[in-house]
A = this chain, B = another copy of it.
Amino acid sequence: MQKLFIIKIGGNVVDNEEALISFLTDFSAIKDNKILIHGGGKIATKIGDQLGIKSTYIDGRRITDESTKDLVTMVYGGLINKQIVAKLQLLGCNAIGLTGADGNAIKAIKRPVNAIDYGFVGDISAGDVNISLISSLLNQNICPVFAPLTYANGSILNTNADTIASVLAIAMSSNFETRLIFCFEKKGVLKDVTNDNSVITKIDRTIYQNLLGSGALADGILPKLENAFAAINDGVNDVLIGHANDLILNTTDTTVGTLITQ
């Protein structure tokens, strides 16, 4: 099977013009099949403030009301996505910007209203991914760039970028040998959170159980690792958690971030 890298960047890259150009330059140098998923960043909040659209939260969870839905459609699906695509074209990478609605790429289910109504939020699973469309684009040497938006019933929906990356990786692993890469603000999972150079370079299930037992892992990293193992369970070859600056090395066999394997 051909290799495929599915790479997620968040606000720390998207919000920083210099970091973004540096990342996109490295990204466009990857010769294997690749898909980019970008998060939202602070620009949506800033533009929302200017438009008088207030972020509402219930129990600490963001609610996507109709105004917020239009805001993220504009900012994620328009401003950020198209700026990235235009920059990648300049760098020689034939990118195509997509939301889940485009080409029916990722169809969602609007999150059911139980105790909380999250509003226009889309829940997705690997079965919702249009594998044939995405494979067809990759086979034409076109690189999909996903905004964190899906759709259902004629409406755009807000969906977490990490979730889209995981679900895409699981779905595409039926056709490709897939590595899922989460770019975050550290070089990898740290043994000692106060020491940026204490990256744990490899975690498999046995090591994970030992780390859990010894209490060495910071609480914040546990959901990321749980998600990584879930993705691997569902067919993803491996998952890499690392810094955007180390992208090129982290797409080789000599990774410097945290490589999570079966």
Q: Is the CB of A86 within 8 A of B51?
A: no
- CA A136 to CA B90, docked complex, whole Å: 23
CB distance from A91 to the nearest CB of B (A): 8
Contacts of A76 in B (CB 8 A): 78
Interface residue ranges of A119-167 to B (CB < 8 Å): 133, 136-137, 140, 142, 149, 151, 153-156
* Majority SS at the chain A contact face: helix
Residue-wise interface mask of A (99-128) relative to B, using a CB-CB cutoff of 8 A (1 in contact, 0 not): 101111000000000000000000000000
Q: Given A50-B50, A51-B50, A149 and B82 touching (CB < 8 A)?
A: yes
Assess whether A45 is interfacial by the CB under 8 Å rule.
no
Which of these, B78, B91, B102, contacts A85 with CB under 8 Å?
B102
Q: Is the CB of B104 within 8 A of A89?
A: yes
Interface residues on A, range: 35 or more
The interface of chain A, by Cβ under 8 A from chain B, is 47, 50-52, 70, 73-79, 81-83, 85-87, 89-91, 94-99, 101-104, 133, 136-137, 140, 142, 149, 151, 153-156
Which of these, B50, B83, B87, contacts A52 with CB under 8 Å?
B50
The closest CB in chain B to the CB of A50 belongs to B51
- CA A138 to CA B213, docked complex, whole Å: 55
Besides A73-B82, A75-B78, A89-B154, 10 more A-B contacts (Cβ < 8 Å) are A47-B74, A51-B51, A74-B79, A78-B79, A86-B154, A86-B156, A90-B154, A91-B154, A95-B101, A95-B103
